[in-house]
Amino acid sequence: MTEMVYGTAPIRAGEPVLPRWWRTVDKWAMSCVLLLFGVGMLLGLAASPPLAEKNGFPPFYYVERQAVYGGLALCTMLIVSMFSPTQVRRLGVIGCGAALLALVFLPVFGTDFGKGAVRWYSLGFGSVQPSEFLKPGFIILTAWLMAAAQEVEGPPGKTMSLALAVVVVSFLALQPDFGQAALILFAWGVMYFVAGAPFMILVAVAGGVVFAGTIAYENSDHFARRIDGFLNPEIDPRTQLGYATNAIREGGFFGVGVGEGQVKWSLPDAHTDFIIAVAAEEYGLVLVAVIIALYCAIVIRSLFRLLKERDPFIRIAGTGLACTFGVQALINMGVAVKLLPAKGMTLPFVSYGGSSLIAGGIMVGMLLALTRNRPQGEITDLLRRRTRE
Within a domain: 7: no
Residue 7: the pLDDT is 39
Contact present, 222 and 116 (Cβ < 8 Å): yes
CA pair distance 150, 380, nearest whole angstrom: 20
DSSP annotation of 43? H
- The C-alpha R_g of the chain, in whole angstroms, comes to 22
Within a domain: 5: no
Residue 300: the pLDDT is 96
Count of domains for the chain: 1
Within a domain: 3: no
Contact present, 110 and 119 (Cβ < 8 Å): yes
79's enclosing H/E stretch is helix 61-81
Q: Which domain holds residue 145?
A: 16-388
Within a domain: 10: no
Within a domain: 63: yes
DSSP 207-256: HHHHHHHHHHHHH-HHHHHHHHHHH-SS--TTSHHHHHHHHHHHHTTT-S
Instruction: Tell which residue, 129, 133, 132, 148, has the closest CA to residue 191.
Output: 148
DSSP annotation of 128? E
Within a domain: 107: yes
CA of 379: how far to CAs of 6, 309, 383, 385, 386, in Å? 8, 6, 6, 10, 11
pLDDT (tens place) for every residue of the chain, 389 residues total? 333 333 334 456 567 888 889 999 999 999 999 999 999 999 988 888 888 888 888 888 889 999 999 999 999 999 999 999 999 999 999 999 999 999 999 888 888 776 767 888 888 777 889 999 999 999 999 999 999 988 888 888 888 999 999 999 989 888 888 888 889 999 999 999 898 877 777 777 778 777 777 877 777 676 677 776 666 666 666 677 777 888 888 888 888 887 777 788 777 777 888 888 889 988 999 999 999 999 999 999 999 999 988 899 999 999 999 999 999 999 999 888 888 877 778 899 999 888 899 999 999 999 999 999 876 545 555 455 555 55
- For residue 81, which amino acid is it? S
Q: For helices 275-306 and 27-47, give the axis angle rounded to 10 degrees.
A: 170
Within a domain: 369: yes
Strand partners, 120: 111
CA pair distance 297, 279, nearest whole angstrom: 19
Within a domain: 304: yes
